[in-house]
Structure 1
Amino acid sequence: MLRSLHSIPGLLAALLVMLLAISGATLALNPALEHLQAPPAAADISVAQLAGRVAGQLGGIEQIRRTPSGTLVVYHREHGQTLASRVDPQTGALLAPYTPSALARWVKELHRSLFLDTSGHIVAALGALAMLLLSASGAVLLARRAGGWGKLLRPLRGSFSQRWHAEVGRLTILGLLLSALSGLYLSAGTLGLIADDGQGQPPQPPPISAGPALPAASLAALQAANLNDLRELVYPDPDSPQDLFSLHTRSGQGYVDPASGALLAFQPESGMQQLSGFIYQLHTGEGLWWLGLLLGVCALGVPLMSLTGLWLWWRRRRDSAAIDDNSTTSDADCVILVGSESNSTWGFARTLQQALAAAGRKVHSAPMNQLRGDYPKARQLLILTATHGDGDAPTSASDFLARLQQQPLAPDLKYAVLGFGDRQFPRFCGFAEQVHKALSASGAQCLLPQENIHRQSPQEFRRWGQALGQALGLPLDLQHQTLALPCHEWQLVESVAYGDQVQAPTRILRFKAADSRGQHWPEFQAGDLVGILPPGTTQPRFYSLASSRADGVLEICVRKHPGGLCSGFLHELQTGARIAGFIKPNPQFRPAQGTQPVILIGAGTGIGPLAGFIRGNRSRQPMHLYWGGRHPASDFLYEPELKGYLADRRLTALRAAFSQVQERGYVQDRLLADALALRRLVEKGAQVLVCGSRDMAKGVMLALDEVLAPLNLSVLTLKAQGRYREDVY
């Protein structure tokens, strides 16, 4: 509901909101430009003194006006024409003609009414209302994504494309809320929706005193008025003997008798007038030039958010839930329920449905919010769900748990839950875990243990499909097609073999661009992923990069798995052979810049990106590597390089563990043995990066929780602080 509330006004009013924002940002420059041109503020100068100084320079004065930025403008007649001039408050001397920008007037009219008078004011008010709805709902969605209002300022997780819309929104949300609220108030006043309290204009003044008119510099009321409080002084009409000075200051307005100098019929500003003036300042920045600039910058975020918001909406529509040949609930023997925030999970649901249908099953797919208690012929319930924010339900599953309590599943319906998420979040697949527990508590039978997929890995999805196929007695091969990025060709230049003696054949493979004449070499960093397409397939396999573009090679570390299509292909490559692949950025798995220590933990081929981080550590940031292998004589990956990094201090310390030696040990054992040193590093602000298998990562998490317990910390705490990151497969 909230996401719909956020999306619908944006789609309907995107162009209008962008127009108002761009014109508002343009107008926000005017107060700052006027402030730069305005003379220094006049200290302890009265309106009478200014009037006397100006009278010595000009004749035929009709009006003196002080703009909110402090510019003094004198309107005077010369040769039968009314002119406007900027003057120096200290001397009364003319500085330059005052010519308001025609472009600024045009933009202001566009911003206020779109040149459509009353109907235009109504449209502008609707635009401000849409902005308010977008800003308010966006703020709530931001808080949900961050895990609460208290975490709103913490770094957002996810790829840059996932964060771009939210990052801009977080920087501009307060300014947009202020602009929208103040704009709505001003629109309501323009349209007469806010009642005037009747205290605006002073009553009709009495006749002027008898006697000759005094010079303006001699009038007591003007002598008592400070120039910095002046808004406007209108001179009497020389052709009307009974006319008075009209004085308007910050405190109110009234008349000044030109004969006696007395202040007549003064009317103080009402509370409503003061409120309206303050809101006008907040909205325009007039008199608060710095605020105008801030609001202008915030307004420039609107086109960016509109375009990225439209792109996100289009992507959700592109990945929408439409599934061909969807069986009805009454006919289906298998039900797939999907929980998705951005609809990307539906792509996996389609792949699963197509594979089950090809195996002869009748499948019904629906959002989790459409859970029913009666599926007459269904024997299995398969739930694929993402997690939104810090363990929250995604949009299409927001009502699932409540519906499950109201209508429990049939006792003979077996279920399986597959979670999709990102391990950088403290509560990785937290909602999937809630669903699994709720189904178990309801008495439903479990078909498969809950599994979680990191960053929509096609390989992990395929492995889960194989387990599901075994449980169902069906041959399931879930070949999910990801959206491949532009491919490049690389040529193998070096292959270093390890692990053959311990039945763990591993290769460090280094590639260069296939075109020696300078084919485009894509940007990448150690820790990014390369998707490689084995011959005859369209499904990429992803490997973590152990190099950056600056190293001049594309380097990966690959262990050969029994029956592994891609790993077998890569191990058989001869020098000079070519591969096709693409780069997938992984910015969340990189060492943070700075002087804080970095703790690198891995096992097996998980050392690849960790070695790349160490190679790129030219600033000698403290880096401590914990790594586990099988035997130092066979599969001590990167041993020569690591010794060199220790010598030149790019690597601070190396703690290796081997499982097939007399004093066998694992990387978790090294962590527990170094508990005191690790606690000291964490107290210094250390960041932890873990790369390797899921089983290894679970063991590392348990060991570090034990290490951190005396500090009243845990791995989840470090994750919440952005100090614990994983690349786990």
Structure 2
Amino acid sequence: MMRRLHRWPGLLAAAFLIMLAVSGAILSVFPAAERIASPAAVQGQTVAELAALVLDQHPGAEQIRRSPSGKITVWWFDGGTPGAAVIDPATGQDVASADKSVIRQWLTAFHRSLLLDDAGRMTMAAAAFAMLCLALSGSLLVARRVGGWRKWFSRLRGPLAGRLHTELARLAVVGLGISAITALWMAAATFDLLPVDEANPAFPATVSGQTGVMPSAIPALQETPVADLRELAFPAADDASDVYTLTTSQGTGYLDQGTGALLVWATPGPWARAYEWVYLLHTGEGAALWGLALGLMVLATPALAITGAILWAQGRRGRPRLRGMVAAARAETVILVGSEGGSTWGFAATLARALQAAGQAVHMAPLSSFSPADYIAARRILVLTATWGDGAAPSSAKGGLERLAAARPLADVPLAVLGFGDSSFPDFCGFAVAFEAAARDRGWNLLLPGERIDRQSPQEFARWGRALGQALGLPLELNHQPDTPPVTSLTLISRRNYGEAVQAPAAILRFAVPKAGLWRRLTGRGFGRFRAGDLLGILPQGAAVPRFYSLASCHRDGFVEIAVRKHPGGLCSGQLMALQPGQSVQAFLRPNPAFQPDRGTTPLILIGAGTGIGPLAGFIRAEGGRRPVHLWFGARHPDADLLFGEDLERWSDEGRLTGLRTAFSRSGPRQHVQDALRGDALALRALIARGARIMVCGGRDMARGVQGALNEILAPMDLTLVTLKSEGRYVEDTY
């Protein structure tokens, strides 16, 4: 709900918000420029002294007005001809024209009403309301993403567009909220929707009827500093019944032009005072530095609109369209999907189309939107979900477990859970298992026992579909054909071979970066932008399911590089190991935001074994000596499969790599990387005490060994890996 409240006002009002923000940001410069250009009043100068100087220069003066920026303007008549100028309060002499620039007038009218009078004002008020909704909902979403209000400025991880969107939001949200609230207040005042209690005293019933007292002799003007002046209006010539009108920051009063006596005085009420503060906060007039700061914050709106649209598009790219889908409230079958890379959406779409063909009204949505109260016509809920990492929720299922825990079970609506994963991982379909267990504990009826699909098997999915059909009394044949992702041809330009001597062939393969158009380079789509640690999907010949390899390079390196080891019977690894320079493979990129170094300067501890060195080498290359980087690396033999050995030596000499510790299982003391960690426990504790972040890449067995060693090392510090994980200081990428 909160995401929808944030998304749709932004998408629908984006153009108006950008116009509102850009014009407002430009207007914020004018008060500061006016403040700099306007001559300053003399310290301690009174209105009486200022009026005397003005009358010396312009005997026919009718009005003196001081703007919040300090600019003093005089209007006069000279022989029946009107005139106006900005004056120097020290001399009373004219220094500039009183007319506002044409650009400023046009921008002000555009900002307030799009040059469309009342219709434009209402449109811009609606845009301001949308901005307020975005500021409030965005604040809640940022707090949810970083783990609470206390962690508002904590470090972010994830794709560039998401990080940039959140960074800008948490820096600018205060300004955006204030700008929106004050704009709505001023719009309400324009349409007379707010009470008015300005200081408008009634004209005095009696005056002396005398004339001739000079402003310099009037006590009220002698007691009023120029800094408090808003406006001084002179009495009309030859009209003994007229008066001086003085307006200050404290109120408005009438002064007798014959005696100088204060006849009437009125102070503004709370609504008028509030409007003055609202006007100052919105325009910056009277607080130039605040105006500039607000303008900078509001100027984030175009960037927020662009990054928000990119995030929305990215979220929809992996989600197939389902023709004939009904709203959640009308659906007989609700299908909820937890997916990280998009493949589970494809299975869900196959299921949805089969149910539609059987006459069912179907609604398909991300598991993160789980809301049983909305499923008023539902007869069943089907959850299809993958698992991210070590049992975590995939991106489209974030918050699903929490929503399940908070929701009341639907008594007559059973639920079924189907997990997707890889049985080579110990926590096979861990999130699906956890979701089903939580549903059972909450009292949900289960339509089918939980099932798990191994490696996206269409055959296993078809068997589950037949079981589902029997439970529903419907003929269901789920013939799923995985969508082949859009692939690009990568040409191998060089290779370095390792491991033959220890019967474990491996290679570092370097491919040319395919040409990308301007749009792909700007948006980072395809091979327009990639980072070490992202995943390269290789579609081997004769297979429909890709294999993934962690990148050892980023787009700035000018090549695409991976480390590969040949696995017995491995289709993809066999084809890659047989590849020669000049030959090509079909590949695509998948971001891997959960496995990226942070942007801090604290030490970085990299731990890997075998081809797990790939992304770690890419991180060392990319860091460029910006922070201390320490690598613990395990291999079989230093002369056979020390992948990136020459590079590691060079990076150490260049200062990119601060510390290097290797462990070889078939040479020397014969130890694994976890043994090397135990031997360096003191050094590791010192680095961790300095705030080091730990990144581990390699096989699952190696990762378990590393976890055990690190927990032993952390114990004397009263720390655990669970603590480091919760702080974002320990991440794994294992296979």
Fold match by TM threshold 0.5: yes
Which residue does 1:458 correspond to in 2? none
- Greater Cα offset, 151-160 or 492-501: 492-501
> Are positions 1:696 and 2:702 aligned together?
yes
The alpha carbon displacement at 1:62 in A equals 0.8
Q: Which of 452, 455, 471 is the aligned partner of 1:462?
A: 455
Which residue does 1:10 correspond to in 2? 10
Which residue does 2:273 correspond to in 1? 274
CA-based RMSD of the aligned residues comes to: 4.4
> Are positions 1:350 and 2:343 aligned together?
no
- Greater Cα offset, 89-98 or 703-712: 703-712
Q: Is the 8 A contact 2:436 2:450 kept in 1?
A: no
- Greater Cα offset, 104-113 or 185-194: 104-113
> Are positions 1:495 and 2:507 aligned together?
no
Q: Is the 8 A contact 2:420 2:455 kept in 1?
A: no
CA distance, structure 2, for counterparts of residue 512 and residue 576 of structure 1: 10
Which residue does 1:163 correspond to in 2? 163
Matches within 5 A, 1:160-559: 160-197=160-197, 200-209=199-208, 211-313=210-312, 316=315, 320=319, 322-323=321-322, 337-339=335-337, 348-351=344-347, 354=350, 366-367=364-365, 369=370, 382-384=384-386, 394=398, 399-401=403-405, 405-407=409-411, 415-418=417-420, 434-439=434-439, 441=441, 462=455, 480-481=482-483, 484=486, 487=488, 489-499=490-500, 501-502=502-503, 504-512=504-512, 525-535=531-541, 540-548=546-554, 553-559=559-565
Q: Deviations over 1:56-106 (max 9, x none)?
A: 222311110001100011112234322211111112121112211233223
May I ask how many residue pairs the two structures share in their alignment?
695
Q: Deviations over 1:560-610 (max 9, x none)?
A: 123333211110022443445455565664545665322110111011222
Which residue does 1:90 correspond to in 2? 90
CA gap 1:674/1:477 in 2 versus in 1, 3 angstroms: farther
CA distance, structure 1, for counterparts of residue 310 and residue 269 of structure 2: 48
Q: Deviations over 1:482-502 (max 9, x none)?
A: 7547x3543332331315534
The alpha carbon displacement at 1:228 in A equals 0.3
Q: Deviations over 1:156-211 (max 9, x none)?
A: 221113334333322221111111111222222222222224x5201222433354
Q: Deviations over 1:401-460 (max 9, x none)?
A: 4567444987xx97443489xxxxxxx999757514314546969967889xxxxxxxxx
CA gap 1:376/1:218 in 2 versus in 1, 3 angstroms: closer
CA distance, structure 1, for counterparts of residue 395 and residue 316 of structure 2: 24
Instruction: In structure 1, give the amino acid aligned to 2:607.
Output: I
Q: Deviations over 1:625-666 (max 9, x none)?
A: 112233445433333443454455543333333445685543
Which residue does 1:456 correspond to in 2? none
Q: Is the 8 A contact 1:623 1:651 kept in 2?
A: yes
Which residue does 1:652 correspond to in 2? 658
Q: Deviations over 1:270-309 (max 9, x none)?
A: 2222111111111111111122222222332333333444
CA gap 1:531/1:207 in 2 versus in 1, 3 angstroms: same
- SS of the aligned residue for 2:207 comes to coil
Instruction: In structure 1, give the amino acid aligned to 2:346.
Output: R
- SS of the aligned residue for 2:263 comes to strand
Q: Identical aligned pairs, as a percentage?
A: 40
* Contiguous gaps of at least 5 residues in structure 2: 423-427, 468-476, 516-520, 522-526
CA gap 1:388/1:278 in 2 versus in 1, 3 angstroms: farther
CA gap 1:440/1:77 in 2 versus in 1, 3 angstroms: same
CA distance, structure 1, for counterparts of residue 351 and residue 410 of structure 2: 32
Which residue does 2:676 correspond to in 1? 670
CA distance, structure 1, for counterparts of residue 559 and residue 551 of structure 2: 10
- SS of the aligned residue for 1:697 comes to helix
TM-score for both structures, normalised by structure 2? 0.81
Q: Deviations over 1:677-702 (max 9, x none)?
A: 21110112222222223443344334
The alpha carbon displacement at 1:223 in A equals 0.8
Q: Is the 8 A contact 2:499 2:506 kept in 1?
A: yes
Instruction: In structure 2, give the amino acid aligned to 1:572.
Output: A
TM-score for both structures, normalised by structure 1? 0.82
Instruction: In structure 2, give the amino acid aligned to 1:265.
Output: V
CA distance, structure 2, for counterparts of residue 353 and residue 440 of structure 1: 26
CA distance, structure 1, for counterparts of residue 457 and residue 187 of structure 2: 57
Which residue does 1:425 correspond to in 2? none
CA gap 1:431/1:575 in 2 versus in 1, 3 angstroms: closer
Which residue does 1:727 correspond to in 2? 733
- Greater Cα offset, 57-66 or 71-80: 71-80
Instruction: In structure 1, give the amino acid aligned to 2:502.
Output: Q
CA gap 1:469/1:448 in 2 versus in 1, 3 angstroms: farther
Q: Is the 8 A contact 1:373 1:408 kept in 2?
A: no
CA gap 1:120/1:404 in 2 versus in 1, 3 angstroms: closer
The alpha carbon displacement at 1:229 in A equals 0.3
* Contiguous gaps of at least 5 residues in structure 1: 330-334, 421-427, 452-460
Q: Is the 8 A contact 1:349 1:384 kept in 2?
A: no
Instruction: In structure 2, give the amino acid aligned to 1:30.
Output: F
Q: Is the 8 A contact 1:448 1:468 kept in 2?
A: no
Q: Which of 602, 607, 610 is the aligned partner of 2:613?
A: 607
CA distance, structure 2, for counterparts of residue 493 and residue 42 of structure 1: 76
CA distance, structure 2, for counterparts of residue 326 and residue 271 of structure 1: 54
